[in-house]
A and B are shown apart, each in its own frame.
Chain A
Amino acid sequence: MADGTPPPDPSGPDAVGPASAVRPFLVTAGRVAAGDDGRSMPVETQVVATAEGLDALDLLAFERHDIVAVCRLPQSLAEIAARLRLHLNVVRVLAEDLRDAGQLTVHVPDSDLVHDASVLRRVIEGLRAVPDSRGVPSDTD
């Protein structure tokens, strides 16, 4: 036990899995997401593969391939990053590339709309309908 056991991760128990051996800046060819005051896309921004993107899937490699493939169904930037174990900012940069190439559509949420009373009311109503518990698993489908 004494040797070979890595010390506990000080950042807590939520290990993300083994870090990629490839540095993020290599994946993005040195580019970074806007960040700082350049207003990077919100983490909940929705991304969807286009038909062109799915058609071109075989021509895409590595992260680009994986991102288009995982976006067959709409995904947030955060979900893409988590599912593919990529840094969020890498996903931001590559998603913009793929959008520019017509392989993804990227839907930055309209902040005014999100904060609109009618939207908030719909979220409230939807949440109110959530039952107290998930019910008995597998029995009550």
Chain B
Amino acid sequence: MTPTEPAAVPAARSAAVRPPLPVKMVISGGFGVGKTTTVGSISEIEPLTTEAAITEVAAGVDDLTHTPRKTTTTVAMDFGCLTIDPTLKLYLFGTPGQERFGFMWDDIVEGAVGGLVIVDTRRLDDCYAAVDYFEHKGIPFAVAVNAFDGRVEHTLEEVRWALDVTDGVPLLVFDARERGSVRDALLVVLELALARTQD
């Protein structure tokens, strides 16, 4: 127990640096709906951007073979993180390109514990692809209406009806700019993921 040893001992000199266990959540929704704002509100770092390869399945009308074409597109992906404790770190990834149908985000989403689909009630159809994706993958998710300027143009019941999501999918209103509001939205998803483990 020598109190002289400063905390800033070069980390790699110790036998093995144990990195934290990363827990991943995915923030999804149409273009400009507030994904990066959401990540930034809770992240301990400024959201970072990287380029990821996304597989686009195009059922093109000009495709003479009538087989789905797969093309790889490079897209910008924003993400952030939050250290829970030295052994556990939450990562939040915004899925890019979801304003178009047919994207496959498996490369980013694989292993995620849950998803948050952000909705702008003025452009509901922008989030269909994300809802479909999470339903198809069986990933626990909630739909969060981003209350731009405190205004929501449709009631939650109207949104639920329009998106055709089951009662098992939580629907909530939040403000992407408010840290507490983002925290609570993520908690809804995590509670859902936890409940699934106990089924």
Contacts and interface: CB of A to CB of B under 8 A. Distances in A.
A100 interface: no
Contacts of B84: 122-123, 126-127
B179 A121 contact: no
A72 B17 CA distance: 9
Interface string A61-101: 00000000000111010110111000111000000000000
Please classify the interface of chain A as helix (H, G, I), strand (E, B), loop, or mixed, using the class held by over half of its residues.
mixed
A102 to B, nearest CB: 12
Contacts of A132: 178-180, 183
Nearest to B83: A126
Please classify the interface of chain B as helix (H, G, I), strand (E, B), loop, or mixed, using the class held by over half of its residues.
mixed
B172 interface: no
A119 B88 contact: yes
B147 interface: no
B17 A111 contact: no
Nearest to A51: B12
A107 interface: yes
Place the interface of chain B in its size category.
35 or more
Given A46-B20, A107-B19, A128-B187, A114 B113 contact: yes
Contact of B82 (A121, A130, A133): A130
A120 B197 contact: yes
B190 A78 contact: no
B61 interface: no
A126 B88 contact: yes
B74 to A, nearest CB: 7
Interface string B95-129: 00000000000011011010000000000000000
B13 interface: yes
Contacts of A43: 24, 52, 79, 91, 93, 107-108
B193 interface: yes
A134 B179 contact: yes
A99 B79 CA distance: 25
Interface of A: 11-12, 14-16, 35, 40, 42-51, 53-54, 72-74, 76, 78-79, 81-83, 87-89, 105, 107, 109-111, 113-117, 119-124, 126-128, 130-134
Interface of B: 10-13, 16-17, 19-24, 31-32, 36, 42, 48-53, 74-79, 81-82, 84-85, 88, 90-91, 93, 107-108, 110-111, 113, 178-180, 183, 186-187, 190-191, 193-194, 197-198
Given A16-B76, A83-B48, A123-B90, 11 more contacts: A51-B13, A74-B20, A78-B48, A82-B50, A87-B74, A114-B111, A121-B194, A124-B194, A127-B84, A127-B90, A132-B183
